[in-house]
A and B are shown apart, each in its own frame.
Chain A
Amino acid sequence: MSASPPSFAVNLVNVTKRFGTQVAVNDLSLQVPTGSIYGFIGPNGSGKTTTIRMILHIFLADSGTVEVLGRQGTRSANDDIGYLPEERGLYKKMTVRRMLLYYAALKGVGEKAAGPEVDRWLERMDLTPWAKKNVEALSKGMAQKVQFISSVLSKPKLLILDEPFSGLDPVNLEVLRSAILDVRQQGTTVIFSTHNMTTAEEMCDYIFMIYRGNKVLDGTLSSIRATYGEDTIRLRVQGGRAALRGVEGVEVTRDFGQHLDIRNPGDPQALLQRIAAKARVELFEVTTPSLHDIFVRIARPEVKEEANA
């Protein structure tokens, strides 16, 4: 490897992957800058996990090039990649410490180097008392933290986390979030997939959205929002949603209970007047759509189809 790290930790060029006749990932190009946190979003079954597996060379692309940490088309970078799969995989009958040492050894890190690292992480995650217990004795949240430790023990240059926060309580979520940010601080590039748009907005430098195998969003959060323009109005009226019935040009995208987000491609002033004529306005804010709204706008047709099916 060259002395200076490549500018892109992951560089996919026109990558396609088919399973039988189904195209799982279609002509995907993606550059993940070294040192960034890159969020993968997209509905279930849209190609996120397939993309991740191609980065890990668990699946080989049918066409296109997959370059990871400067190495193209081989698994040789895998020892420098930490991976937390969506579905947790731990040996129930092994003790926590022994299993972590095994996972480290599989990444080529011997017990001498991995031992202190295991102890340090267990301490940090409040799991030291569980080190000698069998994995099956752990709660779901603890198991998740152990799985996370297994992915960072080898001090990877690239960390791939598939749904790292699912099923965590707020305390553990905070522990994990700060751990991820620390790892990034030390120069590790982080890719994580999530269904939680707020987390993605808060943590990610870049967002990538894949939908039915095609890339639909890719860029910084602000650049993505900018392409959608200020077409969203945050609104609170007395009487709530019912009071808006019959007002022309009101399309509620999301009802938060306390306020509504409505989509308005037209002139906000005209809309305000129309609403004010019908109901008492308490809040009226012109804003960009949230990532959540953008996600839903893209993926809603499918959700509806699924509901009808």
Chain B
Amino acid sequence: MRKIWTVAKTEYLNAVRSKAFIIGIVMLPVMMSGSLIVGKLTKDKVDIRPRKLAVVDQSGWLAEKIETRAAARNEKDIFDPVNKTKQIRPAFVIERVAAQSADEKVEVALSERVRKKDLFAFLVIRSNIVDSAATNTVSYFTETASFVELPGWLDNVLTDEITRKRFEGAGVDQALVARLTKRINVRQLGLTEVDQSGQVIKAKETNRMATFMIPFASMMMMFMLVMSSAPALLNSVLEEKMQKIAEVLVSSVTPFELMAGKLIGTLFVSLTLSVLYIGGAALLLTQMALTGYVDPSLILWFLVFQLLGLLIFGAVFIAIGSACSEIRDAQSLMTPAMMMIVLPMFCLVPVLESPSSTFSRAISLFPPATPMLMTLRIASKPGPPLWEILLGVVLCSAFTIFCLWAAAKVFRIGILSQGQAPTVGKMIKWVFSK
């Protein structure tokens, strides 16, 4: 037992002193806040050069409306709402092109101008656009399809103007139309509760932070913790084999002591990371006054599943590392193991959208996926019933014990094997050898 601690301590110290660990500490917050920061930074870097749009208008009246609306937009909508003089959106410049009939030559000529950057895009409106039975389509031609602001704006403006024209044609009062076609907003609320004194507590508006961000962040954190620790075990065992350190080690400790020490060391590395992460997250939530959305039991379950997840994947990677003598061999065996870690990520969206569906319940009880998906479900309020969580813990623990047992068998033989590139079949044979 003392030797297990000696191994664990050295593994831990080696890991926390390494650059990879420092990067690991920084990586998650950076990745999480990265998009925010990049978003903020690039907000000022918007390309505000004017976009020139040619309008081939066969209807005879729409081009003018578009021009008017564009002028109105260029006057106020393209500036920062706070700092009124700072332009943050590009202006739209409209050029009217006279064309009496649908002429392909016109389209060819305008396309050429777009290629020469003389125009950004052009729009072709047919003469029968007001007749909803005839057409509901206008054509927008551009090289830069990724710029969606202009077509999106056109969509709104044209729908507006054309429906107004259609109502006018039908003799309906505009004010009446405006009143009758007002959009309906769906306001999202939590549930109404009754407190101990029987007082009804009104439902609060749900916060996207609570319904989406917290479960999402919890699972991402679990994923990062497993990913940053378990595969590292493979490298560490492989190094010991390739550098022939393994033989020195097993002359002093049993293969089991060695494996246990390495796993425990890694466990502590990962716990150190999670303490830092959870601490950081708690600080962030306090800052944003969102602590009410996190149940303290979430942290407890998180740590339980982190432990199980690490032992499962740690055992798998340690076994692979011990069976291989070359990085190349290890890489091909690593792929299925990596798939097991990534699998829950594919289930993220369906489980997040419907945490109590049959699919979500079943997949979260599938042991290799339990640590991540059960955490996701627990973090999604109201969370699964306690018996499901406990069943998950029991199944997952049983699977963990199986993985550890099998890994110990493979490790015992693998750690001293040389040369032969192992197959999965051979490793299974090792597991069941006496």
A-B complex is real? yes
Tell me whether A102 and B10 are in contact (CB under 8 A): yes
Tell me whether B2 and A108 are in contact (CB under 8 A): yes
Can you identify 10 A-B contacts, CB atoms within 8 angstroms? A58-B416, A75-B254, A85-B247, A87-B247, A89-B240, A89-B245, A90-B243, A92-B243, A106-B6, A108-B3
Bound-complex Cα distance A105 to B251 (A) = 13
The verdict on A155 contacting chain B, using a C-beta distance below 8 Å, is no
Q: State which residues 389-425 of B face A: CB under 8 Å.
A: 416
Interface size grouping (class) on chain B? 20 to 34
Q: List the 3 shortest-distance A-B pairs measured between CB atoms, nearest first.
A: A89-B245, A106-B252, A89-B244
Contact of A58 among B240, B244, B250 (CB under 8 A): B250
Residue of A nearest to B255 (CB): A58
Bound-complex Cα distance A88 to B240 (A) = 11
| Chain B positions within 8 Å of A103 at CB level | 248, 252
The verdict on A228 contacting chain B, using a C-beta distance below 8 Å, is no
Tell me whether B14 and A89 are in contact (CB under 8 A): no
Bound-complex Cα distance A88 to B247 (A) = 9
Tell me whether A78 and B246 are in contact (CB under 8 A): no
Tell me whether A106 and B247 are in contact (CB under 8 A): no
| Chain A positions within 8 Å of B247 at CB level | 58, 85, 87, 89
* Given A58-B251, A85-B251, 7 other A-B residues pairs in contact with their CB atoms under 8 A: A75-B254, A81-B251, A89-B243, A89-B247, A93-B14, A103-B248, A108-B2
| Chain A positions within 8 Å of B251 at CB level | 56, 58, 78, 81, 83, 85
Tell me whether B3 and A90 are in contact (CB under 8 A): no
| Chain A positions within 8 Å of B244 at CB level | 85, 87-89
| Chain B positions within 8 Å of A93 at CB level | 14, 18
The verdict on A150 contacting chain B, using a C-beta distance below 8 Å, is yes
The verdict on B253 contacting chain A, using a C-beta distance below 8 Å, is yes
Q: State which residues 212-253 of B face A: CB under 8 Å.
A: 239-240, 243-253
Tell me whether A78 and B252 are in contact (CB under 8 A): yes
The verdict on B260 contacting chain A, using a C-beta distance below 8 Å, is no
CB distance from B349 to the nearest CB of A (A): 41
Tell me whether B243 and A106 are in contact (CB under 8 A): no
Bound-complex Cα distance A258 to B2 (A) = 60
Interface size grouping (class) on chain A? 20 to 34
CB distance from B248 to the nearest CB of A (A): 4
CB distance from B231 to the nearest CB of A (A): 18
The chain A residues found within 8 Å of chain B, CB to CB, are: 56, 58, 75, 78-79, 81, 83, 85, 87-94, 102-103, 105-108, 150
| Chain B positions within 8 Å of A75 at CB level | 254
The chain B residues found within 8 Å of chain A, CB to CB, are: 2-3, 6-7, 10, 14, 18, 239-240, 243-254, 416
Bound-complex Cα distance A186 to B180 (A) = 105
Bound-complex Cα distance A85 to B251 (A) = 9
| Chain B positions within 8 Å of A78 at CB level | 251-252
Tell me whether A94 and B243 are in contact (CB under 8 A): no
| Chain A positions within 8 Å of B2 at CB level | 108
Bound-complex Cα distance A243 to B10 (A) = 67
Tell me whether A85 and B6 are in contact (CB under 8 A): no
| Chain B positions within 8 Å of A89 at CB level | 240, 243-249
Bound-complex Cα distance A81 to B248 (A) = 11
CB distance from B37 to the nearest CB of A (A): 33
CB distance from B269 to the nearest CB of A (A): 16
| Chain A positions within 8 Å of B248 at CB level | 83, 85, 89, 103, 150
CB distance from B367 to the nearest CB of A (A): 33
| Chain B positions within 8 Å of A105 at CB level | 3, 6, 10
CB distance from A154 to the nearest CB of B (A): 9
Contact of B6 among A79, A88, A92, A102 (CB under 8 A): A102
| Chain B positions within 8 Å of A79 at CB level | 252
| Chain A positions within 8 Å of B18 at CB level | 93
Bound-complex Cα distance A63 to B129 (A) = 96
Tell me whether A106 and B245 are in contact (CB under 8 A): no
| Chain B positions within 8 Å of A94 at CB level | 14
CB distance from B70 to the nearest CB of A (A): 64
CB distance from B198 to the nearest CB of A (A): 65
CB distance from B83 to the nearest CB of A (A): 53
